[in-house]
Chains A and B, each alone.
Chain A
Amino acid sequence: MDVRFINPFLEATIDVLKTMAFIEPSPGRPYLKNDSLAIGDVSGIIGFTGAATGSMALSFSEACILKIVSNMLGEESKEINGDIKDAVGEITNMVSGAARKKLESLGLSISAAIPTVVAGKGHSVSHIMGGPSIIIPFETEQGPFVVDVCVGEMK
């Protein structure tokens, strides 16, 4: 996988959470993942095409997403419900938009689809290109989340 694709997603994730949720996540060391089992409790997935075809998922632990959404809405969220899923879709959309803008400045133009959100312990994240995907793990004070990117061959 072309490493030029990884940094824009990493930076976009930090930007979005810092701006919208006042949370500064620390990235860990990226690694390869071969199965489709989600690492978190709720995931937003978005596909893209253009200079490359692939998909990205953001997969949050429950404690982490509850804190993020509480900060975004200015009111406490206590469980993963429709509002949380809605917010995960929107965060996925924003990260994808910000990453695409960064990719565009590198001359890699891609367009994205509408995000889908899946929740529940042990749910799966299926990438359009199959796999493996690169996981960028993040830590926050409330718990972990990951950015899971799978990009196919570039055109």
Chain B
Amino acid sequence: MGSDKNMKILIVDDFATMRKVIKNLLRQIGYQDVIEAEDGVHALKELKSQKIDFVISDWNMPNMTGIELLRAVRADSELSSLPFLMVTAESLKENVVEAVKAGVSNYIVKPFTAEVLNEKIKKIIEKQ
């Protein structure tokens, strides 16, 4: 997958405002093609219905959490290699270990700047 700015990014967060905040940060670093989902359940529906290149998901969400979504993505043969950036409000060691075990591409701790987000995305794309 190219690291071009045309890739389609899915933001998953139960807070509409946080989705807007991340969307705004992505816009600042040149990513315009962004869609949103309010939880893991809706995210999976989007992932199954269209081609998405990158997922940025919150950890704590009702219905299906970020880690549950990550596990579902990695277990699906068509989605298993999808870049997945996990957003957390804290960098607790046990959470990081759990996410790495589940196959997260990288994680980012809130609050973060557009530059930090850009760095994380670039690193993930380079590794793909």
Interface residues of A (CB under 8 A from B): 15-16, 19-20, 69, 72-75, 82-83, 86-87, 89-90, 93-94, 96-98, 100-101, 104, 114
Contact = CB atoms under 8 A, between A and B. Distances in A.
21 contacts: A19-B111, A69-B17, A72-B21, A73-B21, A74-B24, A74-B27, A74-B28, A75-B24, A82-B16, A83-B16, A86-B17, A89-B15, A90-B15, A90-B17, A90-B18, A94-B89, A94-B110, A97-B88, A98-B110, A100-B90, A104-B92
Size range of the chain B interface in the assembly: 20 to 34
Contacts of A114: 60
Contacts of B28: 74
A35 B80 CA distance: 54
Contacts of B81: none
Contact of B111 (A82, A98, A104): A98
Nearest to B89: A97
B24 A72 contact: yes
Given A90-B15, A96-B89, A97-B90, A73 B24 contact: yes
A83 B18 CA distance: 10
Interface of B: 15-18, 20-21, 24, 27-28, 60, 88-92, 109-113
**Which of B18, B88, B112: most chain A CB closer than 10 A?**
B18
Given A93-B89, A101-B90, A86 B15 contact: yes
B21 A16 contact: no
Contacts of A73: 17, 20-21, 24
A16 B92 CA distance: 18
Contacts of B92: 101, 104
A97 B110 contact: yes
B111 A15 contact: yes
A98 B111 CA distance: 8
